[in-house]
Amino acid sequence: MIEFKVKDQNGNFVTLKSVKNLRLTLRTKAEEENNVFSLGWKQTLSYSGTKYITIKVNGVLDCKVADKLLCKYAFANAVSDYEISFSSSGEKISLQCLIELYERYYDPSNFDSFTLTLVSAGVVNLKTI
C-alpha cells in the first residue's frame, strides 16, 4: 500500500490512502531511474538536493481537505511538504515540491479520481521505517 501525505498550513499532514499508482522519476547526469522498487533510486535520493525529481500520483480522492490543499498549492504555485510511505518496503520519502499538474476527474457514477505531478524543490529524504 502507498500512503501519500500533504502538509497543511498548521504543520499537520493530511493523508490520501487511495493511491492507485505512483511513478518516481529521478534525473541524474548519467541516467533516469523510473522503477520505484529498484536499488538505484534509493542511493540517488540522499544526494538529490540539486537533482530534478518528478513524482506522478494517480488515485481516488478520499479526502476533501487534501483536495482543497492541492488546489490551493497548485493555484499559488507554492512549495509544500509531502510524505510518501511504502508499507511493502517499510520506506518513507519526505520532500518539498511544486505542483506541476493537478487534474481532477468528476464522474457521477464513480468515485472522483485525481492525477498529480510533483516536481522536487529541495532535498529529498529517504527513511526506512
What confidence tens digit (pLDDT) does each residue in 19-44 have?
Answer: 999 999 886 654 455 555 555 666 65
pLDDT, tens digit (0-9, with 9 covering 90-100), for 56-73: 999 988 888 999 999 999
Helix (H, G, I), strand (E, B) or coil at 97: strand
Instruction: Say what the pLDDT of residue 61 is.
Output: 86
pTM of the model: 0.78
Task: Tell me what pLDDT residue 33 has.
Answer: 55
**What is the DSSP secondary-structure string of 32-75?**
EE--TTSHHHHHHHTTGGGSEEEEEEEEE---HHHHHHHHHHHH
Give residue 119's pLDDT.
Answer: 92
pLDDT for 63 equals 85
- Highest-pLDDT range among 5-14, 35-44, 45-54: 5-14
Segment 117-126 mean pLDDT: 88
Q: Give tens-digit pLDDT for 93-117.
A: 999 999 999 998 887 777 789 999 9
Report whether 95 contacts 85 (CB < 8 A).
no
Q: Supply the DSSP symbol for 15.
A: E
Taken in order of first residue, the domains within the chain and their CATH numbers are: 2-128 (2.30.110)
Residue 37: which residues within 8 A CB-CB, separation 6 or more? 89
> What average pLDDT does range 15-21 have in this prediction?
91
Contacts (Cβ under 8 Å, ≥6 apart) of 32: 25, 26
Question: What is the predicted pLDDT for the residue at 109?
Answer: 74
